[in-house]
Amino acid sequence: MKNIILFIHLISLTSLFSQNVEMVFSKDIFISEDLSGTIKLFDNGVPTFTPFDKEITDNHFNEIKSQFISDTMKIFSEYWSNSRIYPYKNIDLSVMKDTLTFHFNSDNFYCTPTSHLYSAFGPRRGRQHKGIDTDLNTGDTLRSVFDGKVRYAEYVSGFGNLVIVRHFNGLETYYAHQSKIIVKINEMVKAGDVLGLGGETGNALGPHLHFEIRYMDNAFNPEKVIDLKNRCLKINELILTKEDFAWKKQWRESKYHKVKSGDTLGHISTKYNTSIKKILKINKSLKSSSILQIGQKIRVR
């Protein structure tokens, strides 16, 4: 039997050589476990397909399967939620002792074409602006900055139409105020893949992109990573310490409530999840018998 097959092969080889055809293209393809092999194209226009041995095909697909299953860092399995914007349950990196290191590859990066920064990361109007605002018109294509998987894609008050993509290094990027979300939850995206269209939904004073980068729900300045002016990555290795999240402390340290008609210390303490005793302790001029004045500022944290 073997001899016959060899003989047939020899005939076909001879016929190839007798026509003096040359191979112009060769490619190994893995389509499925049943259809994988080498495609060759010859200059007489005749293509051939040689299937791989079962062992080669099985090895290839087993490797891919194990990559997906292992997800050793559990990036796409732990704290994965399509319904909660912040799934990490109050992890506060402003008190961490460790240093976090992340790696970037400029081949897997897409910079939203913008040269205009409307608003930077930092304190704004009495609270923290947890991202950057860049120009993006309504209907403009909005694309993912890095490769990753869509964790959240929904309308929410404040952010408007919001897409959150989790990346392979564990970082998440937030894209807010979109007029239309195109991508679906749990979809894998490559850097540059379309997520949606620019807009001004939610709490926006005009069309723009509100963009955030977070790790475990904790936002840090995206300009540490992205050079907007030159539309490129600023660094290949990002190191984050508690200092990058120090803004959280600043806002946690003191918070004030402006007294409205009908407010009592009881109402206020309930609203801010504290107690009258604690409020009195941090407001030296205040007594439990004090009459609150409308417009008066009371420290609640």
Q: Which residue is nearest to Zn ion (CB)?
A: 210
Examine residue 133 and tell whether it contacts Zn ion (CB under 5 A): yes
What is the smallest separation between the CB atom of 208 and Zn ion, expressed in angstroms? 7
Binding characters for Zn ion, 82-121, by CB under 5 A (x = yes) = ----------------------------------------
Residue closer to Zn ion, measured from CB, 133 or 172: 133
Examine residue 212 and tell whether it contacts Zn ion (CB under 5 A): no
Q: Which stretch binds Zn ion (CB under 5 A): 88-96, 125-133, 157-165, 279-287?
A: 125-133
What is the smallest separation between the CB atom of 280 and Zn ion, expressed in angstroms? 36
Tell me which of 151, 166, 167, 210 binds Zn ion, using CB under 5 A: 210
What is the smallest separation between the CB atom of 118 and Zn ion, expressed in angstroms? 8
User: Measured between alpha carbons, how far is 233 from 217 in angstroms, rounded to an integer?
Assistant: 22
Examine residue 140 and tell whether it contacts Zn ion (CB under 5 A): no
Residue closer to Zn ion, measured from CB, 123 or 266: 123
What is the smallest separation between the CB atom of 164 and Zn ion, expressed in angstroms? 15
Residue closer to Zn ion, measured from CB, 210 or 257: 210
**What is the rounded end-to-end Cα distance, in angstroms, of the chain?**
87
Q: Which stretch binds Zn ion (CB under 5 A): 67-75, 166-174, 209-217, 237-245?
A: 209-217
What is the smallest separation between the CB atom of 123 and Zn ion, expressed in angstroms? 13
Residue closer to Zn ion, measured from CB, 52 or 118: 118
Q: Which stretch binds Zn ion (CB under 5 A): 31-39, 46-54, 128-136, 233-241?
A: 128-136
Both structure tokens of 8: 């047939």
3-state secondary structure string across the chain? CHHHHHHHHHHHHHHHHHHCCCEEEEEEEECCCCCEEEEEEECCCCEEEEECCHHHHHHHHHHHHHHHHHCCCCCCCCCCCCCCCCCCCCCCHHHCCCCEEEECCHHHECCCCCCCEEECCEEECCEEECCEEECCCCCCEEECCECEEEEEEEEECCCEEEEEEEECCCCEEEEEEECEECCCCCCEECCCCEEEECCCCCCCCCCCEEEEEEECCEEECHHHCEECCCCEECCCEEEECHHHHHHHHHHHHCCEEECCCCCCHHHHHHHCCCCHHHHHHHCCCCCCCCCCCCCCEEECC
Q: Which stretch binds Zn ion (CB under 5 A): 25-33, 56-64, 94-102, 131-139?
A: 131-139
Q: Which stretch binds Zn ion (CB under 5 A): 45-53, 73-81, 133-141, 278-286?
A: 133-141
Q: Which residues contact 47 (CB under 8 A, 6 or more apart)?
A: 39, 40, 41
> In the complex, which residues of this chain contact Zn ion (CB under 5 A)?
133, 210
